[in-house]
């Protein structure tokens, strides 16, 4: 095909592009994926029966706010890497802020219980499962983001995969709060974060293969 014919055929299909199209596209993929994750939780794990009471307790909000802060930063980074121009991700270092806040809460909690209970508090009743569950719940959201990227233009595929995995993991963890009965800050800081990090690592691993265009 010669180039002029190509240009003619491309120019027959010029739909207007709304402003903030990248953000919308990412939000749509994320939203569709989140629906998948919620369905998966409902079908596989079930929502916690004491959901109404739990929402009034502080530990639910602690978990939810922590994971939402991670998710917010990761989503901004995903939108940033969906554009082709070179850009810096150094600002992502602010991710340590929610971690430090949670660590501070964890320290306060430790002071309030006798030291023989620390291990139980840290391991909870589901530490072996929690990271794996977060990783599995991240899959639908990650797939949703892959769909978003089909019209976007990431040029650093490994980094884009990593931040998309981070966003998927953190959103999945935020939704997992609706099932998970664990209450301690140290538990969340360790096992939730580990699950989110696994999702991010998986994204970095898959990125160069699945994000090519």
Region 134-163 residues binding other proteins, contact defined as CB under 8 A: 151-153, 155
CB closer to other proteins out of 46 and 208 = 208
- Is the dihedral angle over the CA atoms 27, 20, 150, 192 positive or is it negative? negative
Contact 125, 182 (CB under 8 A): yes
Identify the DSSP state of 167: H
* CB 94 to other proteins: min, Å: 13
| Assigned token pair, 26 | 């990412």
115 binds other proteins (CB under 8 A): no
- DSSP secondary structure code for residue 116 in this structure: G
- 100 touches other proteins (CB under 8 A): no
Distance from C-alpha of 57 to C-alpha of 184, rounded to nearest angstrom: 12
Residue 88, interface with other proteins (CB under 8 A)?
yes
What is the chain's alpha carbon radius of gyration, rounded to the nearest angstrom?
20
CB of 89 to other proteins, least distance (A): 10
Q: Which stretch binds other proteins (CB under 8 A): 87-95, 123-131, 132-140, 187-195?
A: 87-95
Among 103, 98, 87, which Cα is nearest to 166's? Answer: 98
The residue from 87, 101, 197, 210 that contacts other proteins (CB under 8 A) is 87
Pick between residue 56 and residue 90 the one whose CB is nearest to other proteins.
Answer: 90
Q: Which is nearer to other proteins, 157 or 167 (CB)?
A: 157
Task: Identify the residue whose tokens are 């002071």.
Answer: 111
């Amino acid at each position: 095909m010669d180039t002029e014919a190509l240009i003619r055929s491309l120019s027959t299909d010029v739909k207007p592009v709304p402003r903030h199209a990248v953000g919308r596209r990412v939000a749509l993929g994320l939203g569709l994926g989140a629906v998948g994750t919620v369905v998966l939780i409902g079908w596989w794990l079930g929502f916690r029966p004491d959901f109404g009471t739990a929402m009034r307790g502080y530990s639910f909000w602690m978990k939810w706010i922590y994971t939402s802060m991670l998710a917010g930063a990761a989503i901004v980074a995903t939108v940033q890497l969906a554009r082709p121009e070179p850009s810096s991700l150094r600002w992502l270092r602010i991710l340590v802020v929610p971690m430090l806040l949670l660590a501070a809460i964890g320290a306060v909690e430790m002071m309030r219980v006798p030291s023989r209970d620390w291990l139980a508090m840290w391991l909870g009743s589901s530490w072996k499962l929690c990271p794996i569950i977060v990783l599995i719940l991240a899959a639908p959201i990650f797939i949703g983001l892959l769909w978003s990227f089909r019209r976007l233009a990431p040029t650093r595929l490994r980094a884009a995969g990593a931040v998309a995995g981070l966003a998927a993991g953190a959103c999945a963890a935020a939704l997992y709060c609706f099932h998970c009965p664990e209450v301690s800050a140290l538990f969340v800081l360790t096992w939730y974060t580990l699950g989110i990090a696994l999702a991010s690592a998986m994204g970095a691993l898959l990125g160069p293969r699945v994000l090519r265009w």
